[in-house]
Chain A
Amino acid sequence: MSIWEYANPKRFMEWTAPVVPWAFGIAGVLTLGGLFWGFFLTPEADKFGSTVKIIYLHVPAALMAINAWFMMLVASLIWVIRRHHVSALAARAAAPVGMVMTVIALVTGAIWGMPTWGTYWVWDPRLTSFMILFLFYLGYIALWEAIDDPDTAADLTSVLCIVGSIFAILSRYAVRFWNQGLHQGTSVPVVTGGRTISDVYFWPLVACMVGFGVLFIALVLMRTRTEIRVRRIRALAARAARA
């Protein structure tokens, strides 16, 4: 049996029904546990004081903001190449979640920026890139909303997502070229395997990151299920109108 059979809307509804509550449960335990651990059970950093603890929200949200767009890109490509409806709907479902994550990352960053840098906002490359990402989410969602025919909307938003991804990457490097910035380097560089923060902060952060990841999956599954139901109602209404 091919993996694509799970992408059939009916099969998708079947196998996601039991998964969604579990995903929310795991996400809740990990996120709340990680946040509690991070906020109350870790020592205060000498340099930053308690303000540093906002990383337990800031870093996971920023991580998911980017990964949500990446997931939308993959889903769009799957729709364009293999035309699985669930894929297009999952991309649509992920966009608002990704946008909210971007907003969380921007807002927590601004709150953190005040005590650390003395300003809520600087045109630092990372901050600016996130602002641009937010604009891309906005355009993508607006295009979905503007088109009536669901398949046309799926096609056009997929093209926008693919082209937009190229320009998003271009923007990221353009912005670096434009301003060198204040933002610290990444806290958990995956590629090098090293890390720039100590263990005592690291593990609650991992819990939060995984928690946000699972939360994202849970939200996207739930929203995709809603989108599938909307399409089903639409399909039934269209048939009923002709009968």
Chain B
Amino acid sequence: MIALLLRDLRLSIRAGGGFGLGLAFFLIVVVLVPFGVGPDRAVLTPIAPGILWVAALLAALLSLDRIFALDFEDGSLPLLATAPIPLEGVALVKAVSHWITTGLPLTFAAPLLGFFLNMAPEAYLWLLASLALGTPALSMIGTFGAALTVGLRRGGLLLSLLVLPLYIPTLIFGAEAVRRGADATGAIAPLMLSGAITLGCLALLPFATAATLRINLR
């Protein structure tokens, strides 16, 4: 499983797109927002946490369809299915490598971009914490969605349609933690709930993802 993780990370670095594109997309969305809502700081400051969370979520969505599609096309997936690694482990590794290439850089880039949106200074730490706790859930859910649509020719759009509703609880708790952190009204509760969702996804979704892969490989 370590070998698979290392291979996926190496591939995402070599084939490009992994680290770079998601981050660039994140930056562009954040830059576009002031053009849309106006440069007024009184407008930007309160919406900054929400914008950053939504933008991070969309950036994570961007690379989801590559999680299994490439392995499906070149035949690696059936070979992995007959290898001595459980498919549940493959699902988990895929989610972890997706998180390392998107969720983790997004987490560290977000405070920097919060600066552009005049985010309240108190919110930075909460933003970092909520993204660190919430983005693994996004990768887990996204991996499940990618497994559902792996055999489909035009799976990309469908993948967004399936995955985005599942992202709602994570988004709510994550963004709520930052907002409450900004005006100091008890950010611990949403933060813990966001962590709970991540742990729940970590515990249960690999099984659903593996079951889905088995169905799709049939």
Stretch at the interface among B78-86, B89-97, B156-164: B156-164
Which residues of A lie under 8 Å from residue B149 when comparing CB positions?
Answer: 143, 146
The answer to the question of A79 belonging to the interface, with a C-beta cut-off of 8 Å to chain B, is no
Q: How far is the CB of B91 from chain A (nearest CB, A)?
A: 13
Task: Tell me whether B211 and A171 are in contact (CB under 8 A).
Answer: no
Query: Residue B162 contacts which of A143, A147, A152, A178 (CB distance < 8 angstroms)?
Result: A143
Query: Residue A159 contacts which of B148, B154, B176, B190 (CB distance < 8 angstroms)?
Result: B148
The answer to the question of A227 belonging to the interface, with a C-beta cut-off of 8 Å to chain B, is no
Which positions 188-204 of chain B face chain A at CB distance < 8 Å? 190, 193, 197, 204
Which residues of A lie under 8 Å from residue B152 when comparing CB positions?
Answer: 146-147
In whole angstroms, how far apart are the Cα atoms of A142 and B149 in the complex? 11
Known: A142-B161, A159-B212, A167-B166. A177 touches B193 (CB 8 A): yes
Which residues of B lie under 8 Å from residue A142 when comparing CB positions?
Answer: 158, 161-162
Identity of the chain B residue whose Cβ is nearest the Cβ of A138 in the assembled complex: B161
Which residues of B lie under 8 Å from residue A167 when comparing CB positions?
Answer: 141, 165-166, 168-169
Query: Residue A135 contacts which of B154, B165, B169 (CB distance < 8 angstroms)?
Result: B165
Task: Tell me whether B162 and A139 are in contact (CB under 8 A).
Answer: yes
In whole angstroms, how far apart are the Cα atoms of A170 and B169 in the complex? 6
The answer to the question of B172 belonging to the interface, with a C-beta cut-off of 8 Å to chain A, is yes
Which positions 117-173 of chain A face chain B at CB distance < 8 Å? 132, 135-136, 138-139, 142-143, 146-147, 152, 155-156, 159-160, 162-164, 166-167, 170-171
Which A residues have a C-beta under 8 Å from some C-beta of B? 132, 135-136, 138-139, 142-143, 146-147, 152, 155-156, 159-160, 162-164, 166-167, 170-171, 174-175, 177-178
Which B residues have a C-beta under 8 Å from some C-beta of A? 141, 144, 148-149, 151-152, 154-155, 158, 161-162, 164-166, 168-169, 172-173, 176, 190, 193, 197, 204-205, 208, 211-212, 215-216, 218
Please give 4 more A-B residue pairs, beta carbons under 8 A apart, in addition to A167-B165, A170-B197, A174-B169. A132-B165, A142-B161, A152-B215, A159-B211
Q: List 9 A-B contacts (CB under 8 A).
A: A132-B165, A135-B161, A135-B164, A142-B158, A143-B162, A146-B154, A147-B152, A159-B148, A175-B172
